[in-house]
Amino acid sequence: MAGSPTARRRRLAIELKKLREEHALTCNQVGKELDWSGSKVNRLETGQGRVQPSDVDALCRFYGTSDELRALLKALAKQSKTKGWWHAHGDAVPSWFSVYVGLEQAVSSLRTYQGEFIPGLLQTAEYASELSRVTPDLSPDDIPRLVDVRMRRQELLTEASPPDFWAVVHQSAILQVIGNRQVMARQLERMLEMAKLRNVTVQVLPYDAGTYPSTGPFTVLGFPEQEDPDMVYREGLTDSVYLELPTDVSIYTKAFDHLRALALSPQRSASLIRSSMEDHAR
């Protein structure tokens, strides 16, 4: 079973949609039978808002599911109502990013491409703080809390059963100065340390890599359960986009494969990062 409230809510939504489609019914048809609106059924199937166990019970009885499946789905509904550790940081974690943090806690793999900045799971507190200072609509009081969340997220990579993390980072991200050169030197040292973990792979996409898919930063999230398909996360300044259609996920998966094929090997990447670290430290 998925390991965070957000992931459980997603799993529940997937299962509810699957049940409706197995019965070849529309959201409006199901809603009419249960004296609900079609939009309510759609919200339950897209994980928007909290799902009440009583709603799940009504749907399961309508679809005629087994007692075992009904109990499982009601348990998912109850568990999805709990709050994750990141909610304690309040407005420092926007609602649209809170969803991502919740999903991140349940993944078995993360494949990310970053063209301008070091990936969040590899950042030092200093580097993260410098980036946070230019985040729109973020107050000075919010910065330490946002940095705390980022540092807490990184514990994911060193837990007992960590996900596989594969990052492709453009060379410009390790050359540009965020904060000052000392901050950058410590940041690159941190990258080298993290890359030594058995579950972490870091590659640098060099300036002379040639042509590659034109895309902004993105992350492909993989989940341990077969019932939870991969999804793609793309973040903007004020919101984010989650792509779950198999065709979209396939396009981004192939794009990532293309990027890592063009990038330097992990060994050559480490050498380039170390060289850049030494240049920043001078």
Nearest Cα residue to 136 out of 63, 239, 19: 239
Counting Cβ atoms within 10 Å, is residue 209 exposed (0-12), middle (13-18) or buried (19+)? middle
* Angle formed at CA 140 by CA 90 and CA 280, multiple of 5 degrees: 115
pLDDT 10s digit of each residue in the chain, 282 long? 445 677 777 878 888 888 898 899 999 999 999 999 999 998 888 877 678 889 889 999 999 988 888 888 888 787 777 666 555 555 666 666 777 887 888 899 999 999 999 999 999 999 999 998 877 677 788 888 889 988 999 999 999 999 999 999 999 999 999 999 999 999 999 999 999 999 999 999 999 998 887 778 999 999 988 778 898 999 876 667 889 889 999 999 999 999 999 999 999 999 999 999 999 998
pTM over 0.85? The answer is no
Three-state SS for 215? Answer: coil
d(CA 69, CA 188): 49
Q: Which homologous superfamily does the CATH classification assign to the domain defined by 5-79?
A: lambda repressor-like DNA-binding domains (1.10.260.40)
Q: Where are the domains of the chain?
A: 5-79, 85-281
Count Cα neighbours of 73 within 13 Å in the Cβ-side half-sphere.
Answer: 27
Closest to 207 in 3D by CA, of 115, 99, 74, 104? 115
Domains 5-79 and 85-281 share a fold: no
Q: Looking at domain 85-281, which of 1.25.40, 1.10.10, 3.40.50, 3.30.870 is its CATH number?
A: 3.30.870
Specify whether the CB–CB gap between 229 and 218 falls below 8 A. no
